[in-house]
Amino acid sequence: MVAAMAGAVLMLGGSASGLWAQSWEGAYGGVQFGRANSGDAGVFGLSPLPPGGALETAFSPNEAVPDAGFFGEKAKGNVGGVQFGYDWQSGMMVYGAVGALQFGDVTDRQQGKSRTPAVYTIERKMDNYATLAGRVGYLAQPNTLVYGLAGVAMGKVDFAYSQPGSAATTVTSGGQKNRFGYVIGFGVENKVTEQVSIGLEYTYVNMGSNDFQATLTGGPFSAAAPSTTARGTDRDFDFGQVQLKMNYRF
């Protein structure tokens, strides 16, 4: 799908070549939508987890629960939003700043399943976030801009812990909701009319590491002294996203 979107952007840009060769300088605003995915899922982790101990055995597969163990699910979700920016032009170079407000549902989960059976889940979810970035580009054609960007990201990450089927007593801590991180990326933008442009953009968003954890006592953790800590092995909440963009230049 991404290749098809890129082909469509380049095709539209090529068909308009030479028609809209005026300056890229000025303000613009538009909309964007796409898909977010992470490269690293991480897994659910317990500490301490003595090798060969009762706790390790409790999370090992057996005939009754063959899927016991520790797992992770990559961050993913649909994203979309609005962006506003301003560009300056110097010859074939275009540079400026762009701010975006994104909405969606980017979620990852890290889980452990015991022989009980019980499922222990740490979930991180971000419904909206904002970015502010500088971007620098080069005009491959008068109407085709290839660019890179880098800047800051701000968002609210919700942390949740659940353990259906477990008798353990749980106390959660950490997990500051308001997160600050960074965004980097690159893209291509083509003018299809004097004021309308479409583009395809990839960005990597990293909202930083977190200290969210659950302290577990009782149940299968009764042998731990004095308690067991559960947390995900992937501490950074990060993902890449590919988005189709449309802008109107004022």
Grouping H, G, I as helix, E, B as strand and the rest as coil, residue 54 is: helix
Query: Do 231 and 51 contact (CB within 8 A), yes or no?
Result: no
pLDDT at 177: 82
Q: What are phi and psi of 12, to 5 degrees?
A: -65, -40
Count CB-CB contacts under 10 A for residue 155.
Answer: 20
Q: Is 149 left (phi over 0), alpha (psi -120 to 50) or beta?
A: beta
Percent of the chain with pLDDT over 70: 90
Structural fold of domain 2-249:
Porin (2.40.160)
166 vs 131, more confident: 131
Query: Is the per-residue pLDDT at 19 higher than 80?
Result: no
pLDDT at 2: 45
Q: State pLDDT tens for residues 208-228.
A: 888 889 999 987 787 766 789
Cα separation, 205 vs 16, in Å, equals 32
Alpha helices in the chain (DSSP H): 2-15, 54-58
pLDDT at 72: 92
**Residues 6 or more apart in contact with residue 225 via CB below 8 angstroms:** none
247 vs 175, more confident: 247
Query: Is the per-residue pLDDT at 86 higher than 70?
Result: yes
What b/e string do you get for 74-86 counting C-beta neighbours within 10 Å, with b at 16 or more?
bbbbebebebebe
172-201 average pLDDT score: 93
The answer, as to whether pTM is greater than 0.75, is yes
Going by C-alpha positions, the residue among 213, 205, 215, 214 that lies closest to residue 236 is 205
What are the tokens at 231? Answer: 């947390």
Residue 10 — very low, low, confident or very high, per pLDDT cuts 50/70/90? Answer: low
Query: Is the per-residue pLDDT at 124 higher than 60?
Result: yes
Query: Do 231 and 122 contact (CB within 8 A), yes or no?
Result: yes
What are the tokens at 66? Answer: 């063959």
